[in-house]
Structures are given as C-alpha cells and as structure tokens.
Amino acid sequence: MKLSKLYSNKPECFQDIIFESGLNVVLAEIRLPENKKKDTHNLGKTTLGHLLNFLLLAKKNPKFFLFKHLDLFREFIFFLELELLDGSYITIRRGVQNATKISFKKHEFAQQNFVDLAEDTWDHHDVPFERSLSILDALLDLRSLKPWTFRKGIGYQLRSQDDYRDVFQLRKFMGKHADWKPFLSHITGFNADQITSYYEKEKQIDDKKKQEQIIQNEFGGSLEDISKIEGIILLKQKELEKKQAFLDAFDFRSQDKEHTEQLVNMIDERIATLNAERYSLQKNQKKIKDSLKEEQILFHPDDAERLFKESGILFAGQIKKDFQQLIAFNRAITDERCAYLQEELGEIDDRLKEVNAELDTLGKQRSETLSFLNETNVFNKYKKFSNELITLKADLSSLERQRDSLRRLQELRTSLRRIKEKLEHLQSDIELDVEQQNADPTCLFSSIRLFFNEIIEEVIDRKALLNVALNREGHLEFKDEILDESGNATSADSGTTYKKLLCTAFDLAVLRAYLDKKFPHFVFHDGVFESLDDRKKENLLNVIRRYSDLGIQVIITLIDSDLPPKSDRNKEVFGEQEIILTLHDENEQGRLFKMASW
Amino acid sequence: MLRPTKHSHPDRTVINVSLLLLDYLKKYRIEEYGKLRRKIKEKTVGGDVLFLPALSFLYLLGLVEYRPKTDAVEYTGPDEAV
Amino acid sequence: MKYAYEDLSDEQFEQLIVFLCQRLLGISVQGFAKGPDGGRDAKFVGTAELHPSRTAPWSGTTIIQAKHTNGYNRNFSEPDFYSVKSMTSVLAKEIPRIKKLRLNKQLDHYMLFSNRRLAGNAESEIRYYISTQCNIKQESIYLCGLEQLENWLKTFPDVPRLADLDPVDSPLIVSPDDLSDIIQALARQKNTLPNIIDDPPIQRISYEEKNKINQMSVEYAKAQRKRYLKETPIIRTFLAAPENMDLLRMYESVVEEFQLKIITKRKDYQAFDEVLEYLVDLLFHRDPILRGHKRLTRIMLFYMYWSCDIGELGDAETD
C-alpha cells in the first residue's frame, strides 16, 4: 500500500498533492530574512502528516487542528487515493463536518478526482466509523499485520514530532506495555501470540489474587475444614432426598388422573423437542468432526455444483462468476476454520451432554409417572416428614454456603497455581523463541537488525545494535544502541543526539524487511535532516534514495536551511519530480492551507 | 437447493437465507464471517446449514466478496432498493 | 381396539400370550420354543386354573400356538390363514404338526391365538376342521381372536403391562433419529421390492380411473387418520429441516419408487388399504430396522399417502 494522491473539495485553499512511488520531498523555503532565526514556521509541513493520519481513519479528536478550528475547516472534505497491493486503487472520502462518516470507492486507475462523485456511485457511502475501519482494513489486505488492523502500526509510517523520542514506543503507546509490545514483537518477527497470552495470564493472576483476598476477608476458615463439611452435607442430603422423594410422590398421588395425563404430555413434548435438538446436534457434530478429520473443506463441491446449475437456470443472465470462482470462494471462506470449528464442537459436546442428561431424567420421570401405583395411609408420615424437611433444608443451606466459599477459595488457589505454571512455560517458550530469532541469521529479525545497522553505519560511521531480550519479569525489552569504535555501547548522549536518525533507520529497516509481503510500503518522515551535519545529511539522503529505488515510498519534509549540500554545483539536490510540494513564508499562498495561520 | 419443494419450509430455504444476508449486509456493508453466521443461526432454524450455500449464491450474483485479512464478507452490490 | 397388536413383533405377541396363558392355565406355562420340526409352541402340563372354567378345567398337556400378523383388520377366514383347499395357508401347515403331537400323546388340548378377527361361524367351522383333521375333541380346542383377546386383557389388566404393551392412543415420541433410520431403511428397500401390483402402464390412465384406483375403504381411512394424522407435522418438520436435505432427497426417491410400484394398472376391486397393508408387510419382512419401528413405518407411509406422494394426485381430503 502506498499513497497516491491527496486533495480536497477546495483546491483554491488546499492544492492537490500527487505522490510519487519513490522519493517525495516536501520543501519549506524560508524566504523572509526575519524568519530565518525562528524555530517554527507554521507552514504546514508537519500538518501534512496529521492530515494523512486523519484520512487513514484516525479517531476523531477534538484537539485535532481541523476540529479545533471548526469555523475555518467546516466546509472541507478531503480525499486520499491509495494504491493497493494488487495495483488497483481506493479513494477514501472524509469530511470535517461529518468526520465519523466515511465513503469508499475502489477504482482501477490513479489520479482520479471524486470531488463531485454522486453519492450512489461510491461503493460504500457515509459508513459509520467502526464499519469504515473494517472496510478499509479488509481492502488494504495487509495480512502481515494479522491479527491487528492497519491502524496499529500506522504510527511507524507517520511519526509525528513527539514520536521521535523513542525508536519503539510511539507516543500513542504510552499506556500499558501489553497494548503495544505484542504488536512490535509481531512485526519484528517474534511469536506475538505467546507474548499476548503472557500479559493476559499476568492480568489473570492479579485478578485472582484480589478475589482470593476478598473471600479470605469475608469468610475466615481454613481449607482443612472442607472435607468435614462435605461429609456432613452428603449425609444430610441423602436424608433430604429420601424425604423429598416420598413427599413428591405423595403430592403427586393426591392429584387427579387428569393432572397425571397432563404431566405425561408435557414430558413427552419436552422429550420430542430434546430429541430433535439432539439429532441436529449430532448431525452437526458429525459434520464438524468429518471436516476436522480430513483437514478438509466444509463445503461439498457437488453441492456447490448443484447450486451453480440451479442458479444458472433460475437466474440466467445475472450470474457474474464462473464455477471455478465459486469453488475458490468456498475454499477461501472455509479454509482455516479449524479453531472456530473446535470451538463449535466444544459447544455442541457440552450441549449434547446436557440434552442427554435431561433426556435420561425425563425418561425415568415418564416411566414413573406412567406406572404410578396407589399407596395408602401415608398421611401421618407425610406430616412428620415435611416438618423434618424444613429443618434439614435450613441446615443444609448454611453448610453449603460455608462449603461454597471454601471451594471457591480452593478453586482460586488451584487455578492460580495452574496459571503460574503456564506462565513459567510461556516464559521458557518466549525465551526459546527470542534465542532462536537472535541466533538465526536468516530470520526476519536478523534482517531488520542488519538493515538497521547498515543505515546507521552509512550515515554516521558507527555501528548500531537492535537488541531484544527478556527482562526479569519475563517481558521483552527492545533496545537500540550506538556502539563506539571498539564495539561497546556509548554513553546515552549520542543515543539522544541521533534519536531521530535511529527512528528513521528502524522504520526503513522494517519496511525493507517486508518489501515482498502484505505490509505498508510507505513512510512519512518529518524533518529528517535536522541537526545532522552536511556530510551525514548527504549520507542519509543516499540511503533514502536507495530505499526508494527498492520500492519503498519515502516522503520527507525539510526546511531549505536543512538541505544537504549540492554534490554538483549546477544541480539542485532534489529533482523537479521529487519535490511534490513547496511551501514558503512570503504570503498565505505559501502555506499548506492557503489562509492566515491559526 | 434453491427451489422450494413440497416438503420445504419457506423460511428454511437458500433463497430466504440469502435475502436475510442481503438485508443485513446492505445495512452494515461489511461483517465478520463468524458474526454473520451467528446472526443467521439466530434468525432461522437450520440457518447454519444454509449459510454457506446462501453466501455462495450471493457471490454468484456478484453481490458479496470475501476479505481474508479481516475474515469478513463485504457487500459489493448496487445500492438501489432490491 | 385398545392395543395395536399388528405393530408388535412376533416375539412380543408370543410373550403376551404366555403371560395370558399363565393366568388362564397356570404359572408354569413354558414359553414359546422351537420344536424339533421348527414350529414354535408353548406348553402347559397339569390342571388349568381357569380354563375353560374353574369347575371343569382342562387337565393334561396343553399346546399353545400364537399366530401374529402385521396386517390390520385381518380375519381368521382369509385364505392365507384358513382355507380348506389351500395347502399353504397358515393353518394347513400347522395341521400335520398337531397331528403328530397328538399321535405321540404329547397333546391333549390345543389353543390357538391370533390378532385376527374371529366371527362366530368361522370359529365353529375352523374348530370342527381341526378337530376332524387331528382327532382332538372339539371341547379341547380353543380359538382366540382379536375380540376375545381384548376381553381377556380387560379381565387381566396386568398382562399387557407385563408384556410392555402400549395402548393405541399412547403418545408416541417420534424422534428424528428414528425417522432418519427409517428413511434410510426404506431407501435401501426401494429397489428390491417387486412391483406391488403388476406391470407399469403403457398408456396414460384417465383421471377417472386414477381416482378409482385410490379406493381406500372408509373404515380403514378413518382408523389411519385417527391414529397417524397427529404425527404428520413432525415428519413434515423433519423433512423441511435444511440439515436433512440429503434425507429429503432420499425420501423423494423412495416415494417415486413406491409410486411407480403402486400406481399401476390396478384391478378395480383392489382397495388401496390392501395395497398399503401388503407394502407394510413386505417391508417388515425385509428390513429389521423397519420391523423394529413398525408404528413409525406406518406413520411414514400414511404421511406419504396423506401428502399425496403416493396414491392419487389430488388433495387428500379430511372429513
């Protein structure tokens, strides 16, 4: 995925920006002498990055410049044209006024202008925000990011000024590590599932410990008492059942025949319903087991064929796909459904157990009900029993309450132990994975590492190290270090001096490692040449050009005072083609938005 | 498959489930496979059996596409009233 | 009729007769066992408790036979059961065996039970016939038909319970599993059945004729409806369930086949009930699964008829 064109419904205030597929330069020229000394110029080169982020469906934030100055931007509607992996295009339309309603249109050719496109010509018009995210995520098809959406990593493509403080942790990741570390480990080639579940397990342990404390506080008592209590309960329960059965029977027998018949009918109906349910459960169970066994498909090609033929007969002329496509569609849809099948199978098995148990009970009930015999002279017994029953029930319920809290405590402790064990296993798995990735020179992580070092070395002539290791809590730590001539880590100084460079290098290294995969292929770097000396600027520009040639779309912004030196006196540093936007400070026309600064 | 027979229940046919799917997808534009399937399962007895044929049928008519990245079904048909 | 005897298996019917005879003759009635010549008899040796009366009970060796039929509404004097001319009727085959037992002094009294109707004149005719053929005194022969059997079971209400009889109107729980088994069993049988009538028609038959074909006797139709109509919705629901699409296809092929075999040039006098009964009998004989689910098989066939999958092609009318 690359950027192709950015435009708005007000070209007089915001000129169309056409992106090239390689290097793109946004140049801000400071032409007025009184402005030369200023640090910030507000021409809008940084704003461009924010705007791209907005069109790539950033959440609506009232502090965002478009909403902060609603009076100025109310009428604006922006359009971003993206090139997809398969070479086709998609245009995203997002206005300021209804910023949570987004429209999409797929198309085959670049450089369209959809400002006046009729509503019903959009593929999806004014779709609510969450759905829009799903639609765009589906169409971008960046499967290398799975299970995350394209939004998760967008910060590495569009770093804002605040994102250059740390190579790995973007500003939006200021929250819990559990929110971003798994993702970062995923794109750097580690097993993210393990890391995700590691964080989950840690959270579970915390929760369970809290629960344990609560139970301890509300009910003292030790686990030793449990078997004694269980024993007493068992005895009392047996007694209760005996008496209850007698009373039920008594109740029952005092009913008239009509009642009995009604009862039988009710039981029969229930049995029939359950039978039907059991049947379809078993049928589904069999189907699922078959498809799991064969690791095969859930659809039957001959069924598909029948459907195809019938559709052809009944809907002649409306069929848009051929049979091969239908088969491919079915295959795509039913592939890799194993996990979901397993889950379904579990549900079915549970339900079947329930149904079978209930059927057993009903069967017994039915035969008892049908064959009930008259007993006589039970009235005295009845009175005695029902009195005893009341006492029994009261005893039992207090005992059961005690037992239940003890049991809960027991369960909690058992499951705590289990989770801790799992956590340890996970930790070893993660360690193993990290070791393997570190040791394997051909893996993704090693490639990123090498590219990263290559870039730094070329620019500042020092080696740089990307490092991933487990800390004492069992969490992954990502580190970046610049080494001195003898190969030792330097003081942190150079690290901060070159932080921006390190971020740039990391982003480029990752993009390069993913060049042939379903991954974004663009990056926007704001002010990359700042605070580098001329020599290093030149080196970095060479790197950037080389990466553009590899097929990465690099968009850089700079102020003319940060320009690298000309290598040839008669030649500008950047060609006409490469500069996609020139901003200047002479008047409003030089700004990204041709209006007074806000 | 498509044509109801003397013994079929009008609600439990591929055509009917297709219509349910179409209604839903036109409204929501895109939906995860699993969720879609659950919806249909809730709405019709035996809907889970008819789900795949119904989806295939809509696909044949060019009204839906499958998106592997998000494991979702997207509505790709026109927007005039059906 | 309180019980659907035709839906019992032969063994169940025998069991019922044993329990009944234990009341009539005595507790030591020995159950039905294969004799050396392959016939199945039950036996009682001693003095009977009640039969034919307390004051003059039988004493000696009583041989008991039970002849069960799957047929509904059959009677003793139908040629397949008793015919003086036929050598292959049920009774004709039994006569030599009884004779032999009599000769070997292994039979003093003879009882024959069947779930067929037994009219008064037929009773005396058949009794006389057995008596003369086998040399047994007429008063030592006892024939028991459907009506008498019903009376006995009223007298001894615990007997049907012991034999696990379900009353005709007892609720039947139709389970989809059974339906599935039955349809599959029917499908297995569909190609092996002979033509139920005769050759397929060469000419298209007229409407009038077609309607004549479906002469189902009023009484039979009513009885069938009373028993089975309430169960048809379950079958309808079952066949309509999408997960049973394969079974529905199977069902359709079965009815097609049956239709071919039934609706052919039928003789005018042949009532449709006979055809159905013949089909049922054939199916029970051929398939153990169907034999195990007699009632459900009948319901299934009734459903076929009711929803006009077999038989005439108009709408089945209710009255």
Q: Higher-confidence residue: A477 or A293?
A: A477
CA A204, A209, A210, A214: dihedral to nearest 10 degrees?
A: 140
* Helix/strand/coil for A286: helix
Residue B42: pLDDT over 90? no
Q: Which tokens in the block code for residue A98?
A: 């209804």
Q: Which tokens in the block code for residue C59?
A: 């004493």
Task: Please list the helix, strand and coil fractions of chain A in percent, rounded to the nearest 5, in that order.
Answer: 55, 15, 30
Q: What is the pLDDT of residue A374?
A: 33
Residue C117: pLDDT over 70? yes
Cα dihedral C136, C139, C145, C150 sign: negative
What is the Cα Rg of chain B in Å?
12
- Using a CB-CB cut-off of 8 Å, the residues of chain A touching C177 are 275, 278-279, 282
pLDDT, mean of residues B31-52 = 86
Interface mutation vs chain A, best among C175, C232, C244, most A CBs within 10 Å? C175
Residue A119 CA to chain centroid, in angstroms?
31
Instruction: Fill in the amino acid letter for C261.
Output: K
Residue A540: pLDDT over 70? yes
For chain A, the residues whose C-beta falls within 8 A of a C-beta of chain B are 120, 123-125, 127, 131, 134-135, 137-143, 146, 149, 280, 284, 298-299, 303-304, 306-308, 310-311, 314-315, 318-321, 325-326, 329-330, 332-334, 340, 518
pLDDT, mean of residues A5-19 = 96
- Please report the DSSP string for chain B in residue order: --S--TT--TTSSHHHHHHHHHHHHHHHSEEEHHHHHHHHHHHSTTHHHHHHHHHHHHHHTT-EEEETTTTEEEE-S--S--
Instruction: Count CB neighbours of A259 within 10 A.
Output: 11
Residue C238: pLDDT over 70? yes
Given pLDDT bands bounded at 50, 70 and 90, which one contains residue A276? confident
Q: What is the pLDDT of residue C260?
A: 74
Between CA A22 and CA A168, with CA A519 as vertex, the angle to 5 degrees is: 95
Residue A584: pLDDT over 90? yes
Q: Higher-confidence residue: C298 or A521?
A: A521
Residue C193: pLDDT over 70? no
Q: Do A275 and C180 touch (CB under 8 A)?
A: no
Q: What is the pLDDT of residue A241?
A: 86
- Please state at what angle helix A192-218 crosses helix A177-187, rounded to 10 degrees: 160
Least confident of A27-31, A224-228, C79-83: A224-228
Contact C52, C38 (CB under 8 A): no
Question: pTM of the prediction?
Answer: 0.71
Q: Do A123 and B76 touch (CB under 8 A)?
A: yes
Q: Do C251 and B50 touch (CB under 8 A)?
A: no
Q: What is the pLDDT of residue C152?
A: 94
Q: Do C180 and A265 touch (CB under 8 A)?
A: no
Q: Do C175 and A276 touch (CB under 8 A)?
A: yes
Q: Higher-confidence residue: C115 or A341?
A: C115
Residue C132: pLDDT over 60? yes
- Using a CB-CB cut-off of 8 Å, the residues of chain C touching A264 are 171
- Per-residue pLDDT reduced to its tens digit, C207-232: 344 444 566 677 777 787 888 888 88
Given pLDDT bands bounded at 50, 70 and 90, which one contains residue A296? low
Contact A454, A403 (CB under 8 A): no
Q: Do B9 and C243 touch (CB under 8 A)?
A: no
Q: Do B12 and C241 touch (CB under 8 A)?
A: yes
Q: Higher-confidence residue: A245 or A138?
A: A138
SS (H, E, C) A71-102: HHHCCCEEEEEEECCCCCEEEEEEECCCCCEE
Given pLDDT bands bounded at 50, 70 and 90, which one contains residue A208? very high
Q: Higher-confidence residue: A90 or C176?
A: A90
Q: Do C240 and B6 touch (CB under 8 A)?
A: no
pLDDT, mean of residues A172-191 = 90
Interface mutation vs chain A, best among B69, B74, B76, most A CBs within 10 Å? B69
Q: Do A275 and C171 touch (CB under 8 A)?
A: no
Neighbouring subunits of C (3+ Cβ pairs under 8 A): A, B
Q: What is the pLDDT of residue A306?
A: 81
Q: What is the pLDDT of residue C211?
A: 41
Tell me: cis bond preceding C79? Omega within 30 of 0 counts: no
Phi, psi of A558 (to 5 degrees): -155, 160
Which of C237, B24, B29 is closest to B37 using CA atoms?
A: B24
* Helix/strand/coil for A449: helix
pLDDT, mean of residues C95-113 = 93
Q: Do A275 and C177 touch (CB under 8 A)?
A: yes
DSSP structural state of residue C23: H
Q: Which tokens in the block code for residue A411?
A: 């369960």
Interface mutation vs chain A, best among B44, B60, B64, B66, most A CBs within 10 Å? B60
pLDDT, mean of residues A337-359 = 85
Rounded Cα distance between C98 and C35, Å, is 12
> Does the beta carbon of B52 lie under 8 angstroms from any beta carbon of chain C?
no
- Using a CB-CB cut-off of 8 Å, the residues of chain C touching A275 are 173-177
* Helix/strand/coil for C3: strand
> Does the beta carbon of B7 lie under 8 angstroms from any beta carbon of chain C?
yes
**Which helix or strand (DSSP H or E) is residue A310 part of?**
helix A301-314
Q: Give the E-state strand segments of A171-271 in sequence order.
A: none
Q: What is the pLDDT of residue C114?
A: 96
For chain B, the residues whose C-beta falls within 8 A of a C-beta of chain A are 1-3, 14, 28-34, 46, 48, 52-53, 55-57, 59-62, 66-70, 72, 74-76, 79-80
Rounded Cα distance between C292 and A268, Å, is 20
pLDDT, mean of residues C153-173 = 80
Given pLDDT bands bounded at 50, 70 and 90, which one contains residue C68? very high
SS (H, E, C) A340-370: HHHHHHHHHHHHHHHHHHHHHHHHHHHHHHH
Residue C265: pLDDT over 50? no
- Using a CB-CB cut-off of 8 Å, the residues of chain A touching B68 are 141, 143, 332
Q: What is the pLDDT of residue C190?
A: 75
Given pLDDT bands bounded at 50, 70 and 90, which one contains residue C203? very low
Residue C7: pLDDT over 80? yes
Comparing alpha-carbon positions, the chain C residue that sits nearest to B13 is C242
- Nearest C-alpha of chain C: how many angstroms from A362? 12
Least confident of A390-394, C87-91, C309-313: C309-313
- Per-residue pLDDT reduced to its tens digit, A455-511: 999 999 999 999 999 888 889 999 998 988 777 776 655 666 789 999 999 999 999
Phi, psi of B75 (to 5 degrees): -80, 125
Q: Do A318 and B61 touch (CB under 8 A)?
A: yes
Q: Higher-confidence residue: C303 or B6?
A: C303
Residue A45: pLDDT over 50? yes
Which of C314, C313, C196 is closest to C264 using CA atoms?
A: C196
Q: What is the pLDDT of residue C268?
A: 45
pLDDT, mean of residues C91-103 = 92
Q: What is the pLDDT of residue C108?
A: 95
pLDDT, mean of residues C176-197 = 76
- Nearest C-alpha of chain B: how many angstroms from C239? 6
% of chain B beyond a pLDDT of 90: 48
Which of B2, C1, B68, C217 is closest to A145 using CA atoms?
A: B68
**Which helix or strand (DSSP H or E) is residue A47 part of?**
helix A45-55
Q: Do A265 and C241 touch (CB under 8 A)?
A: no
Q: Do B50 and C242 touch (CB under 8 A)?
A: yes
Q: What is the pLDDT of residue A492?
A: 55
Residue C215 CA to chain centroid, in angstroms?
21
> Does the beta carbon of B9 lie under 8 angstroms from any beta carbon of chain C?
yes
**Which helix or strand (DSSP H or E) is residue A556 part of?**
strand A553-559
Q: What is the pLDDT of residue A336?
A: 66
Interface of C with B in 211-270 (CB under 8 A): 236-237, 239-243, 245, 248, 251-252
Residue A371: pLDDT over 80? no
DSSP structural state of residue C313: S
- Per-residue pLDDT reduced to its tens digit, A60-72: 999 999 999 999 9
